[in-house]
Every structure is written in C-alpha cells, then in structure tokens.
C-alpha cells in the first residue's frame, strides 16, 4: 500500500504544475486547448527541448552554467543539412552529432585548462561558434527535403525521445557519474576531499550535454524542415526553455526524479508560451508574464519546503519527548 501511495504521490507532483497551467488556459481559451491536436502539438514540440534539458541536467547539477550548447546544436544542424545534400539522412545525423561533440570536447578541455567561470567561457564560445556557423552556411540553402524530415515526425521522434529518456534516467539514478555531479554541485570542497575529480566530472558533463545538443539539433532540424545559422548570443534563446524547464524540474526533485522533472518543467513552459500566444498578449509582456510565473513557482516551492522542514522538526521533537517520558 505504501508503494502505491508513493507512486501516486510522484505522479501527482509530475503532473501538478503543467496540469494546473493547462487547466488555467483551457478555461480561458477552451477552443484552443481542449483538443487532442493542441495537446499533441505541445507534447511533440516539447520533446526537442526536453532532450536538450536532459543533456544539460548533469552540467547544471554540477554547478556549470553553459549557454553554448545552443550554438553547438545550431552549428551541428548547419553542418548536418549541408552534408545531407550528398549523404542523405546519415549526413544530417553524422554532421550534427559529430560537430556538436567535437566542439563539446574542445570546450571541456578549455574548461579544465582555463580556471575561469564556465559562464564566461560559454558566452565566448557562443560568439566563436556562431561566427563559424555563419561562415559554414554561406549562401547554402538550409532547407531539408521532405524525405529528410522523418526523424522529426511520429513515430521516429517518440522512439528517440524514449531511448534518450531511458539513458538519462539510468545515468541520473544509478551511475557513479550522476552521483558525482550531485556531490560536486552540493559541495565542491567536500566532494574534492572525498576524491571526486572536479575536472573529469565537469568534462564528462559537458561532453554529455554536447551529445544531447547534437541529438536535439537533428530533431529540431527535421521537425522544422531546416535551420539557419545564428551569430552572437542569438542562439542562447534556444537553450533558455531547456534551462528554465530544468530549474522547474529541480524544484520538484524532492518528489520526482530529475528526468521526469525536466519533462514536467519543459511541458509547463511550452503550455505557458502557447497560452500567452492564444490570449494575444503583446510580445513585450510575454517575458514579464513568464518571469512572474517562475517567481510565483519558486516562492510556492520555498513555502512547501519550509513547511516540510517544520513538520520534520516537530516530529523529531515529539519523538524526543516520548523517549524522555519512557526513560
């Protein structure tokens, strides 16, 4: 019975945030949200951001703030589209993955050699990779032919999504690597004293993020039937939904695994974005509404954690009184 209740509790916390947002907009715009097509479109478009969120979950857990996975994804997609002209769908897959991984390895090496903030390196990397992407693209058409878009459609995208989810879940819950990322993010000094190599763990986290950036780039290009190079910090817009989705998921990690937390978080952000568009809210106010929602969610989570901690303190105090009375 306890296992059933525990399972139902996890399901509740997995669904409560995106479900509440979906219910809110369903009441306001039932003609948009109360349809299977709308729900399916939101779920399908969320897959790509969820895969990216899964990839960066290790680096963010370890305390690495890395915006450049977005530029790696965009550059990989540009190279993949160009290679698809001669190699077909395998050109798209190999070009996207190989490019993202190579630049991820270079970034991991820089992170290990240059002892500066990972955020500074990632911003500089965005500028560098963005410029390379624009040079590689040149005058080439970045449009995919219809036969190249199969990976971004059902059932292929769902199969890839499920496979990525299984890999991330196993790494997060059962691997030594996942435990080391959590330890490093929790307290770097103590983890170093425990023998955890900060450089190796961060390097592997960056590598994993790059692999999943490449995969999400393949799916995004197939889903959108093409891509375009983005210079400067423009590519950072790609990674923000994944980062915000991860942060929402991280708020729920006391109740659900971060793998499912990322799904819940990204779905929440996609439903929110779709809802704001359906309400015809001016673009200038959309970011404000999103920010206010995140602040509200953070405050709510903080209150819940404080109440939980207070309940545990009362329980411990009651147990101590019972033990003293028995003595």
**Residue 266: closest CA among 89, 87, 57:** 57
Per-residue pLDDT tens digits for 227-251: 776 766 677 777 777 888 888 777 7
**Do residues 201 and 58 lie in contact, with contact meaning Cβ atoms separated by under 8 Å?**
no
Q: What is the pLDDT of residue 146?
A: 73
Give Cα 139 distance to the centre of its chain.
32
Per-residue pLDDT tens digits for 275-286: 888 888 877 777
Tokens of 71: 């530029």
- Which pTM value belongs to this model? 0.84
**Do residues 70 and 227 lie in contact, with contact meaning Cβ atoms separated by under 8 Å?**
no
**Do residues 100 and 132 lie in contact, with contact meaning Cβ atoms separated by under 8 Å?**
no
Q: What is the pLDDT of residue 161?
A: 92
**Do residues 46 and 157 lie in contact, with contact meaning Cβ atoms separated by under 8 Å?**
no
Query: CA-CA distance, 123 to 177, in Å (whole number)?
Result: 26
For tokens 């999103």, the residue is: 290
Instruction: Point out the residues of the chain with pLDDT beneath 70.
Output: 1-2, 115-117, 140-141, 187-190, 192-193, 225-226, 229, 231-233, 301, 304-305, 308-309, 311-312, 315-327
Q: What is the pLDDT of residue 321?
A: 63
Q: What is the pLDDT of residue 188?
A: 64
Q: Any residues with CB less than 8 A from the CB of 198 and at least 6 apart, and which?
A: 184, 188, 191, 192
């Amino acid at each position: 019975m306890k296992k059933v209740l525990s399972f139902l509790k996890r399901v509740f916390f997995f669904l409560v945030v995106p479900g509440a947002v979906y219910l809110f907009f369903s009441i306001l715009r039932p003609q948009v949200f109360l349809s299977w097509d709308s729900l399916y479109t939101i779920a399908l478009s969320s897959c790509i951001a969820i895969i990216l969120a899964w990839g960066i979950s290790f680096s963010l857990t370890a305390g690495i703030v890395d915006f450049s996975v977005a530029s790696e994804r965009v550059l990989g997609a540009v190279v993949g589209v160009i290679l698809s002209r001669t190699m077909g769908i395998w050109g798209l897959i190999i070009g996207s993955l190989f490019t993202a991984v190579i630049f991820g390895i270079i970034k991991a090496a820089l992170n290990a050699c240059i002892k500066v903030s990972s955020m500074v390196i990632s911003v500089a990397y965005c500028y560098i990779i963005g410029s390379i992407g624009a040079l590689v693209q040149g005058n080439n058409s970045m449009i995919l032919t219809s036969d190249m878009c199969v990976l971004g459609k059902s059932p292929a995208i769902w199969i890839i999504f499920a496979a990525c989810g299984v890999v991330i879940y196993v790494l997060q819950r059962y691997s030594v690597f996942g435990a080391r990322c959590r330890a490093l993010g929790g307290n770097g000094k103590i983890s170093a004293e425990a023998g955890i190599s900060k450089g190796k763990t961060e390097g592997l986290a960056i590598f994993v993020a790059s692999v999943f950036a490449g995969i999400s780039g393949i799916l995004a290009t197939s889903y959108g039937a093409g891509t375009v190079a983005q210079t400067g910090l423009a590519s950072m817009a790609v990674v923000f939904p994944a980062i915000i989705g991860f942060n929402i998921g991280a708020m729920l990690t006391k109740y659900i695994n971060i793998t499912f937390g990322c799904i819940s978080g990204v779905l929440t952000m996609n439903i929110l974005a779709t809802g704001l568009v359906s309400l015809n809210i001016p673009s200038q106010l959309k970011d404000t509404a999103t920010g206010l929602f995140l602040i509200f969610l953070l405050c709510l989570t903080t209150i819940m954690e404080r109440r939980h901690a207070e309940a545990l303190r009362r329980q411990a105090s009651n147990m101590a009184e019972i033990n003293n009375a028995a003595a």
